[in-house]
Amino acid sequence: MEQRECCSELRLRVTELETVLEVGRQITATLDSERIMDGVIDACKGAVKAEAGTLWILEEDAYLVPLAVRGPKADRLKGLRLKRGEGLAGQVCESQEPVFIEDVTSDERWASRFDDATGFVTRSMMVVPLFTDDRAIGSLQLINKLDGSLFDESDLRISMALAAVSAKTIVNSRNYTQQRRFLDTLLKLMASLLDARDQYTLGHSERVSRHAVLIAQGLGLGLDEQDVIERAALLHDIGKVSIPEDVLTADPLDAKAWEQIKKHPDLGADLLLQLEPKSMVRQLWAGALYHHERFDGNGYPVGLNGTDIPLVARIIAVADAFDNLVSQQRYGMSKGIEEALEEIEQCSGTYFDPGIVDVFVGAVRARRVSKA
């Protein structure tokens, strides 16, 4: 009998460990803070078979905000928040000690106003702290076992382990997200300042970015890849900020000025690599450096050919050329959309990747038909 109980306990612990390892693998596979927090609450709620769950994160060192919520009427929690130390979630965040509550209505710490606001009925609850390096970052709240039973020690072990695995990842991902937002704002500002230097290029970077995303979608690339391509396209000409304005606006463009302008891919790549964080910027520099390479190898600055040219640069090359053809030109008249598409097709295999040309031309024509 004792041996059977030991085997049963061992199987339970193995199951708990497998659950924690699997969730840890999932949440460390991304740096997207929303996906991580959604993954944590989904995993915990599923592992302990809870009816509902909330991931509370400490904001501005003063309030707990529900950034991931699961369960009936979860959407009604949006906009609500707890003061630091308020309610069970707030007190667990402060004490960094977990709590079990068999009947919340008999516990004076329970913040009943959330049930009042949502119409949800809380019976029992387990709350575990989220902290890293002894610093509280929030709490994980699990509500009502689906089978009507109470939360037990096994539920606590799983939840505490998942909270420990999750906390550092959440902090890192939120820092990454903040850095990314700051970098995006900076890059958009740089692109807009570049475009504003010349009436003929005003809005060019954003249009190229939209065309590039259209191609990425047509190629079936994932959302993360689409984001990289969107940013890279926005910054493809950023090297031109290092070129004197009188050279950029020279009319006519002589050989000396042209040689200076041809340096903008190298200048742009060098400029991007001076920014932080490097992990994000490296994804963008290939678009700046290689977008004037040609599929037949006769482009610049390196002379790459075919699929040796990074995909992001092959995409930008088509998007950039199309916008140049249909926009007001310094050195010639702009073309109509169909005429521009035909010219892009004529350059397929020489200037441009044929597969990308097919995707882009098909997508633009399909949109024109749908709007007709």
Q: pLDDT for 63-72, tens place per residue?
A: 888 888 888 8
Q: Which of 99-108, 184-193, 319-328, 353-362 has maximum average pLDDT?
A: 353-362
Q: Is 136 left (phi over 0), alpha (psi -120 to 50) or beta?
A: beta
What secondary structure letter does DSSP report for 70? E
Four-residue CA torsion sign, 135, 13, 126, 32: positive
pLDDT of residue 201: 65
Note whether 218 and 366 are same-domain residues.
yes
pLDDT band of residue 142 (cuts 50, 70, 90) is very high
Between residues 86 and 182, which one has the greater pLDDT?
86
Residues 234 and 320 in one domain: yes
How far is 320 from 80, CA to CA, in rounded Å?
Answer: 46
Nearest-angstrom CA–CA distance, 23 and 18: 9
Q: Work out the average pLDDT over 288-306.
A: 96
Angle between helices 153-196 and 223-234 (to 10 degrees): 20
In 10 A of CB 14, how many CB atoms?
10
| Pairwise CA distance, residues 105 & 103, whole Å | 6
Which CATH number do you get for residue 311? 1.10.3210.10
Report pLDDT digits (tens) over 37-53.
787 888 888 888 899 98
- Residue 122: give its domain's CATH number: 3.30.450.40
Q: What DSSP designation does 286 have?
A: H
Q: How confident is the model over 10-44, as pLDDT tens digits?
A: 454 445 555 555 655 555 555 566 777 787 888 88
Q: Are residues 163 and 205 in the same domain?
A: no
Number of domains in the chain: 2
User: Could you report the per-residue pLDDT of 71-99, keeping only the tens digit for each?
Assistant: 887 777 777 888 888 888 888 888 889 99
pLDDT computed for residue 337 by the predictor: 92
Q: Kindly report the backbone phi and psi dihedral angles of residue 266, in degrees, each rounded to the nearest multiple of 5, phi listed first.
A: -65, -40
pLDDT tens figures, 261-272: 999 999 888 888
Q: What's the mean per-residue pLDDT of the chain? A: 82
Residue 187, domain member (yes or no): no
Burial 274-293 (b: 16+ CB within 10 A, else e): ebeeeebbebbbbbbbbbbb
Q: Are residues 86 and 216 in the same domain?
A: no
Higher pLDDT, 235 or 306: 306
Enclosing domain of residue 72:
2-174
Least confident of 106-110, 146-150, 284-288, 326-330: 326-330
Which pLDDT score is estimated for 160?
85
Confidence (pTM): 0.58
Closest among 57, 68, 69, 63 to 131, alpha carbons compared: 57
CB 238 within 8 A of CB 288: yes
% helix, strand, coil for the chain, step of 5? 60, 10, 30
List beta partners, residue 241: none
